[in-house]
């Protein structure tokens, strides 16, 4: 069996092992197996990288040849300033590589963040562009290489050759980058799987749920194009007073817009844009109230009568709509208002909606309910296994569940008779 084919099969088996893991111990065992795997796990793509080098060399040659001897129209501005942008571009890719290898630039703790480290290295690499001698050396070196080749060919290559070569180079690089960095997406899958196992969550069946949620909640009636549940998990919260099942979801919807614009010839035309949006939240039963909404998102309009509390901060954050004002009066006690105010401070564009069937959705823009920070990944499998072996605490999710439990605890007496 060829080397690369064996690598492909080994990676596929690791992915299958992660998918089938039903306990943290099994997951840790899979991670540890990467450290001393009996088969190869890295592709040998030397010929492909050589081809990439050739394509990039052709791109640079045609670009420089046309700067020196030809004309490329709008490309002249980019190519003619190559000595300014080539070093920071190389610095950016170098910084990305150092980040993946955990070879971090020593910076003060408050600045030790990936984006800042990448930015600092990119900026440092751009500094030579401030020196006139750099531009002189750069163009002299390129001219000494390109001029004899143009003289030998006796023709200036068409700029279209540069466009094609660069397009092929980018496509090839993206493919090679994905092959060489398969550990990163699999590491993310392992981290998510570990978080689910640690917090009693499992994947739920989402078939047919989108249509059901569109009927049940105004929250999901957003956009005018695609609407889909990208992920759905189920769990159970065991509170001191109340225990309840819940579902955690990731929702994607698309807003389609038709815009009018004027082209370069002065003609008025229309085009369609599709903008993706994402919402996240929890679904659960709430037997203490019905037909009420608290909207901290002005993109939605709910039905019902307006209701205001005694808290100005709460009234600024949430617009309350309710079918029966007495329901809002019983639910929104001072303690509940304080708790929901705290929730509104910690999430973006919150919506709490209770429908007529006493089902609740709590939704917001924040996407980090299942986020866990890990220092290592499968590039360092031993250290990564030790991290995975610990308890992955989902602090934001637990805080939200405690808020909902507190809401139930504070509401059960007020609504016991009507419930």
Show which of 180, 214, 240 is a domain's final residue. Answer: 180
Reported confidence tier of residue 70, pLDDT bands at 50, 70, 90: low
Task: Summarize pLDDT for 107-117 with one digit per residue, the tens.
Answer: 787 777 888 88
Shared-domain flag, residues 170 and 225: no
In a domain, 78, yes or no: yes
Show which of 180, 209, 241 is a domain's final residue. Answer: 180
pLDDT value of position 110: 73
Show which of 144, 163, 180 is a domain's final residue. Answer: 180
Bigger pLDDT: 187 or 82? 187
Longest dimension (CA), the chain: 95
In a domain, 15, yes or no: no
In a domain, 5, yes or no: no
Shared-domain flag, residues 175 and 281: no
Reported confidence tier of residue 418, pLDDT bands at 50, 70, 90: very low
Shared-domain flag, residues 219 and 174: no
Task: Summarize pLDDT for 141-176 with one digit per residue, the tens.
Answer: 888 888 888 878 777 778 888 889 999 999 999 999
318 by Cβ neighbours in 10 Å (0-12 / 13-18 / 19+) ranks as: buried
In a domain, 32, yes or no: no
Shared-domain flag, residues 334 and 210: yes
Write out the residue range of the structural domain in which residue 232 sits: 187-415
Whether the Cβ atoms of residue 279 and residue 296 lie closer than 8 Å to each other: no
Shared-domain flag, residues 157 and 192: no
Shared-domain flag, residues 127 and 246: no
Averaged pLDDT for residues 242-260: 95
In a domain, 24, yes or no: no
Helix (H) or strand (E) holding 72: none
In a domain, 29, yes or no: no
Shared-domain flag, residues 265 and 318: yes
Shared-domain flag, residues 173 and 204: no
Shared-domain flag, residues 121 and 225: no
In a domain, 201, yes or no: yes
Closest CA to 371 of 118, 200, 194: 194
73 Rama sector, left if φ>0, alpha if ψ -120 to 50, beta otherwise: left
Shared-domain flag, residues 201 and 171: no
Shared-domain flag, residues 240 and 373: yes
Averaged pLDDT for residues 323-343: 93
Averaged pLDDT for residues 334-344: 93
User: Is pLDDT above 80 for 414?
Assistant: no
Number of folded domains that form the chain: 2
Averaged pLDDT for residues 78-82: 81
Shared-domain flag, residues 175 and 253: no
In a domain, 103, yes or no: yes
Using a pLDDT cut of 90, give the percent of the chain over it: 70
Reported confidence tier of residue 415, pLDDT bands at 50, 70, 90: low
Question: For 44-131, where are the alpha helices, taking DSSP H only?
Answer: 46-69, 75-80, 82-100, 114-126
User: Is pLDDT above 60 for 192?
Assistant: yes
């Amino acid at each position: 069996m060829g080397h690369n084919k064996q690598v492909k099969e080994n990676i596929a088996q690791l992915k299958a092992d992660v998918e089938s893991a039903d306990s943290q111990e099994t997951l840790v065992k899979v991670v540890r197996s990467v450290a001393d795997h009996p088969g190869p796990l890295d592709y040998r793509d030397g010929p492909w990288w050589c081809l990439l080098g050739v394509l990039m060399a052709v791109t640079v040659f045609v670009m420089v040849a046309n700067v020196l001897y030809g004309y490329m129209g709008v490309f002249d501005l980019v190519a003619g300033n190559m000595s300014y942008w080539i070093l920071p571009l190389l610095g950016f890719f170098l910084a990305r590589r150092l980040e993946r290898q955990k070879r971090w630039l020593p910076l003060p703790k408050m600045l030790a963040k990936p984006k800042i480290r990448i930015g600092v290295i990119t900026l440092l690499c751009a500094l030579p562009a401030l020196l006139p001698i750099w531009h002189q050396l750069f163009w002299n070196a390129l001219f000494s290489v390109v001029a004899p080749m143009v003289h030998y060919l006796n023709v200036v290559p068409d700029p279209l050759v540069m466009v094609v070569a660069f397009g092929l180079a980018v496509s090839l690089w993206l493919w090679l980058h994905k092959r060489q960095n398969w550990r990163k997406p699999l590491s993310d899958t392992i981290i998510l799987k570990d978080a689910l196992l640690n917090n009693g969550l499992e994947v739920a069946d989402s078939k047919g749920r989108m249509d059901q949620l569109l009927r049940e909640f105004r929250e999901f009636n957003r956009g005018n194009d695609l609407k889909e549940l990208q992920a759905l998990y189920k769990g159970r919260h065991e509170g001191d007073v109340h225990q309840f099942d819940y579902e955690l979801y990731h929702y994607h919807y698309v807003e389609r817009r038709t815009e009018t614009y004027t082209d370069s010839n002065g003609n008025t035309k229309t085009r369609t844009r599709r903008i993706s949006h994402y919402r996240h939240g929890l679904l659960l039963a709430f037997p203490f109230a019905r037909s009420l909404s608290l909207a901290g998102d002005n993109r939605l309009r709910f039905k019902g009568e307006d209701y205001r509390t005694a808290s100005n901060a709460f009234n600024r954050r949430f617009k309350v709509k309710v079918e029966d004002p007495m329901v809002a009066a019983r639910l929104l006690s001072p303690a509940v208002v304080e708790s929901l105010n705290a929730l509104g401070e910690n999430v973006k564009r919150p919506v709490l909606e209770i429908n007529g069937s006493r089902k609740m959705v709590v939704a917001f823009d924040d996407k980090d309910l299942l986020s866990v920070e890990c220092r290592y990944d499968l590039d360092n499998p031993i250290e990564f296994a030790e991290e995975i072996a610990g308890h992955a605490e989902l602090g934001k999710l637990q805080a939200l569940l405690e808020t909902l439990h507190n809401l139930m605890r504070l509401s059960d007496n007020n609504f016991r008779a009507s419930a």
